[in-house]
Amino acid sequence: MVFNGSFMPHGHCLLWRWDLLFLHVGGDALTGLAYAMIPIALIHIVLKRNDLKFDRLFLLFAGFISFCGITHLLGLFNIWHGYYFIEGVAKLITGLISIVTAVVLWKLTPRIVALPSAALLAQRNQELLNAQQELKDINMTLEAKIAERTRELNIQASTDELTSILNRRAILKDLDNEINRCQRHHQVCSVLMLDVDYFKHVNDTYGHQVGDEVLIMIADAITQTCRQTDSVGRYGGEEFLIVLPQTDNQQAYELAERIRKSVASISTQHPFSVSCSIGVATFDETLDMHTLIKRADEAVYNAKEKGRNCVSH
């Protein structure tokens, strides 16, 4: 009774008219074909998208649409054969799947509604891009400030606070680098050690503030007389060290004389003259930095023994 198709075919209800048959057959056929294609597309989407939310809801819709399609195909078949029981079973299954799908859809409605729209996602994405650009600008500003601050700290670390020329550590570093360069390329360099004459007498008589002013003027005189390639530093107290790259002993002596004269021409508001004694030492490959400085220092003592305000080498 269920599978023998003995019921009256649906075509009798349609009076077997070609126009009614065309409408029902065409409608059910197209609907069945569409219902066969839609679930395949839904299942394909679920399989290809691992990040897809509510994938079970997609599968429920696929099942619901599939059974709707089966119902339409059975309706099409029953135009010529009366398998209405089977069609009824298919409709019942379709109804059950439909109600389950509807219940699940209603339960998921708040979460689906809460999903951001494409416009909102675009807005949030733009906000993130703007924030990223702001962070980039801030980072560039901070890097610039850090670089500037680092440069200032490097200058402070290598500059004598009183005279604004190189301090002892920095001038010794320059001398060490110059000696290493001379050793690599077999070149020559010289150093000048300058000591201010009677500086203790200036401090004791006129005060340390006046002594500081004298040191500043002497540092300016040395810097203005030296070449741009030379390094000028305060070695300690009233002593100055000048590093002369690619300068032999005679050239160093001549520059020392110009520096001595420049210092001697300094005028102050106090009744004393300024002078200095300068020692010259030239590097050769048998010397290291400390020995070179020692030779320049010994030359300073020789200049003082000669009566000060002179150059010795």
pLDDT at 31: 76
219-275 pLDDT, tens per residue?
999 999 999 999 999 999 999 999 999 999 999 999 999 999 999 999 888 888 999
Return the percentage of the chain with pLDDT > 90, whole number.
Answer: 46
Q: CA angle, corner 297, sides to 292 and 300, nearest 5?
A: 135
pLDDT greater than 80 at residue 94: no
Average pLDDT, the chain: 85
| Mean of pLDDT values over 194-215 | 93
- Tell whether the model's pLDDT for residue 209 goes beyond 90: yes
For 10-54, the pLDDT digits (tens) are 766 766 777 777 777 777 777 777 777 777 776 777 777 776 665
In this prediction, residue 66 carries a pLDDT of 78
φ, ψ of residue 200 to 5 degrees: the values are: -60, -40
Positive or negative CA dihedral for 261, 267, 273, 274? negative
- Angle (CA) 72 91 15, round 5°: 50
What is the tens place of the pLDDT at every residue in 132-174?
999 998 999 898 998 888 888 887 788 998 999 999 999 999 9
Looking at residue 40, its pLDDT comes to: 73
CA–CA separation, 242 and 234 (whole Å): 9
Q: Which residue has the higher pLDDT, 65 or 260?
A: 260
**What confidence score (pLDDT) does residue 262 get?**
95
Q: Which residues are catalytic?
A: 238
> Which of 98-107, 162-171, 207-216 has the weakest average pLDDT?
98-107
pLDDT for the residue numbered 11:
66
Q: What is the pLDDT of residue 153?
A: 80
Q: Residue range 96-120: average pLDDT?
A: 74
User: Regarding predicted confidence, which is higher, 106 or 208?
Assistant: 208
Which tokens is 88 given? Answer: 């009824």
Looking at residue 108, its pLDDT comes to 67
pTM: 0.58
Task: Give 164's contacts (C-beta < 8 A, 6+ positions apart).
Answer: 219
**For 287-291, what is the mean pLDDT?**
91
Whole-number Å distance between alpha carbons of 234 and 181: 22
239 or 94: which leads in pLDDT: 239
